[in-house]
Amino acid sequence: MNVEKGQTGAGSAANDVSLPTLGPLGMLRWAWTQLTSMRTALFLLLLLAVGAVPGSLFPQRPANPAVVTQYLQDNPDTGPILDRLQLFDVYSSAWFSSIYLLLFISLIGCVIPRARAHARALKSKPPRTPSRLSRMPAYGTVAIPAQLAATQAATADSVAADAAQMLKKRGYRVDLRDEGTATPSVGAERGLTKELGNLVFHSSLIGVLIAVAVGGLFGYNGQRIIVEGDTFVNTLVGYDSFNPGTNFSQDRLEPFSIRLDEFDVRFDRQQPATYGQPLDFTASVTTLDGAEANPQQQELKVNAPLKIGGTSVYLVGNGYAPEVTVRDGEGNIALQGPVIAQPSDGMYTSLMVIKAPDARPDQLGFVGFFLPTAFVDEQGVAFSRDPDPFNPQLNLNSYAGDLGLDGGNPQNVYVLDTEGLEEINSRNNPDGGIVLGPGQTYDLPGDRGSITFDGLNRFIAVDINHDPGQVGALVFALLALAGLTASLFIGRRRLWIRTSTLGDGRIIAEYGVLARGEDHRIAGEAAAVKRHLEQRWLAAQDGTYEDGKRPAGAHDGGTTGGHPTNGKDL
């Protein structure tokens, strides 16, 4: 009984499996292997695309902080939670940057080993000749009759050497083997450019990531409204809004200036169905690229940006800027100059907001519309009938009081908060609203001052973008497209030709073609090889090949597999 127990214990000990422990180094090696697999790279690429979706669903603070602030005010419950998740700063968030960096590392880890393997493949010889070529997916034979072989002094070696030259001309890497033996052969391979294209594609993805990162770190983007006759100078204080990159420095601002000389809009006046629609926008500007440069006359159009150094200037909007003069109750000029009117429809009916914080004794504010071609309907409602300024008119309401600008709190220049202000003029006020044409002045009730419509200018809205990684991103994107095209359309094939001399003096050349992966073109490749062999060695046989008849002794074992009918002779 004790013996049985001992035997059972010994058997149990023998059956125990000792599992190796990975250890810290092994865990790191396993994690690196998982991270640098192609499956992980594809998953991270998909995850990056999914992670970018919130950037289009929620307003982004770098692009429009005012909209984000308004969103938080309108959604006091969910807004702070979304803000903690960095959904208003998606592209600079910690989680998006982590995906970006992991994808970058994964692609590098995938490309480097494959590049090394491809370099070794380029240096290596084509694979050895299989012993049974008849097993290849595309296979055939060509027989050179003994009399023809004797006439042309052909041998198995010369036929193999001639086949090697033919394959070189067809773009194959060729290795001539077994010279001096009874069965010399040729090993050939082509299509390594397919893998090279694959490597170029993935390397270019890394390049695109680097270029985008450089643009995000050192680039900048800003907006500015320029009125006819005004000049924009590329300094921080010259922008209406400015979005710098993460590592942006003010020293990177290129010294240039743009003066808007004239802005011309051409509207459709021919077709009734599209009457009044804009056909062309042309901004005539004078640019100065540096303090020592000469002024240049240029034109800025939609989809035709100005290129000044490494900075692009895009035309993104336009409208009217009426010139007004506001005098306060003491007769002093409180505001004078052009005021931007925001277009609200195709007829350029534009919202006007005028703030005169320097007016005394009360600050003055005006809200209303600018109408390029004013027209009053039967109900007494004024509207614009044409986008061109045939009958320009200001329709305003006026207010007096504290505009809230002295407290230091930022305000939207296109919004006037009328809460707490005294209404001086409006349609519901006994004094009525303010209606002004060019050159007309309206005196505010109660000796509050006056407002004058001095004239009319146009303005343009420009987007100024400096992206140092833009050219690199374009170059790498084109390389990625070229690499992807090569990897998809170039086939990788291996081909072997073995020659031998039979006892009756005939020379047999058998060939086999093998493709890596699915390739429906190998049958055509095998047919082309057969045609070259026959043209080289059989075309001179009494002209029978030229007549389209198969020469005596020639046999095709087929290009889709199988064995030759005279396989016993082989």
Nearest to 502 by CA among 175, 154, 161: 154
CA distance 165 to 178: 16
User: CB count, 10 Å around CB of 560?
Assistant: 12
Output Rg (C-alpha) for the chain, integer angstroms.
40
Nearest to 386 by CA among 346, 436, 340: 346
Q: What is the pLDDT of residue 247?
A: 84
Task: List Cβ neighbours of 499 (8 Å cut-off, separation of 6 or more).
Answer: 156, 157, 159, 160, 163, 183, 184, 185, 507, 508, 509, 510
Burial pattern 91-130, b for ≥16 Cβ within 10 A else e, equals bebeebeebbebbbbbbebbbeebeeeeeeeeeeebeebb
Nearest to 189 by CA among 129, 101, 273: 129
In angstroms, how far is CA 511 from the centroid of its own chain?
A: 46
CA distance 488 to 191: 11
The pTM for the full model equals: 0.69
Phi, psi of 22 (to 5 degrees): -70, -45
CATH number for the domain formed by residue range(s) 135-191+493-537? 3.30.160.110
Beta bridge partners of 289: 256
Q: What is the 3-state secondary structure (H, E, C) of 142-154?
A: EEECHHHHHHCCC
Please report where in the chains the tokens 């309907």 appear, as a residue.
377
Phi, psi of 530 (to 5 degrees): -60, -45
Q: Return the structure tokens found at 5.
A: 């127990």
Phi, psi of 353 (to 5 degrees): -130, 120
User: Dmax of the chain from CA atoms?
Assistant: 127
Task: List Cβ neighbours of 495 (8 Å cut-off, separation of 6 or more).
Answer: 167, 172, 188, 189, 511, 512, 513, 514, 525, 529
Phi, psi of 362 (to 5 degrees): -115, 145
Parse the chain into domains and list their residue ranges: 30-122, 135-191+493-537, 206-316+463-482, 319-459
Q: What is the pLDDT of residue 181?
A: 67
Nearest to 152 by CA among 507, 498, 530: 507
Per-residue pLDDT of the chain (570 residues; tens, 9 = 90+): 454 444 555 555 556 666 667 788 888 888 888 888 878 888 998 999 999 999 889 988 877 777 888 889 889 999 999 999 999 989 888 999 899 889 888 888 888 888 888 888 888 889 889 989 999 999 999 999 988 888 888 888 899 999 999 999 998 999 998 755 678 999 999 988 888 998 999 899 889 989 988 888 888 989 999 999 999 999 999 999 888 888 888 888 888 999 999 999 999 888 888 888 889 999 999 999 887 889 999 999 998 999 998 899 999 999 999 999 999 999 999 999 999 999 998 899 999 999 999 999 999 999 999 999 999 888 888 899 999 999 999 999 999 999 988 777 777 888 898 988 999 999 888 888 999 999 999 999 989 999 999 999 999 999 999 999 989 999 999 999 999 999 888 888 999 999 999 988 899 999 999 988 777 888 999 999 999 999 888 875 544 443 344 444 444 444 444 433 333 333
Which stretch of DSSP H or E encloses residue 435?
strand 434-436
CA distance 444 to 432: 11
Indicate if the alpha-carbon torsion angle 268, 272, 274, 277 is positive or negative. Answer: positive
Beta bridge partners of 243: 221
Mapped onto helix, strand or coil, the DSSP state of residue 538 is coil
User: CB count, 10 Å around CB of 147?
Assistant: 13
CA distance 524 to 509: 18
Q: Which whole-number Å values give the CA distances from 49 to 133, 326, 409, 475, in the listed order?
A: 48, 53, 38, 21
Please tell me the number of Cα atoms within 13 Å of 132 on its side-chain side: 8
Mapped onto helix, strand or coil, the DSSP state of residue 250 is helix
* Helix ranges (DSSP H) in 383-438: none
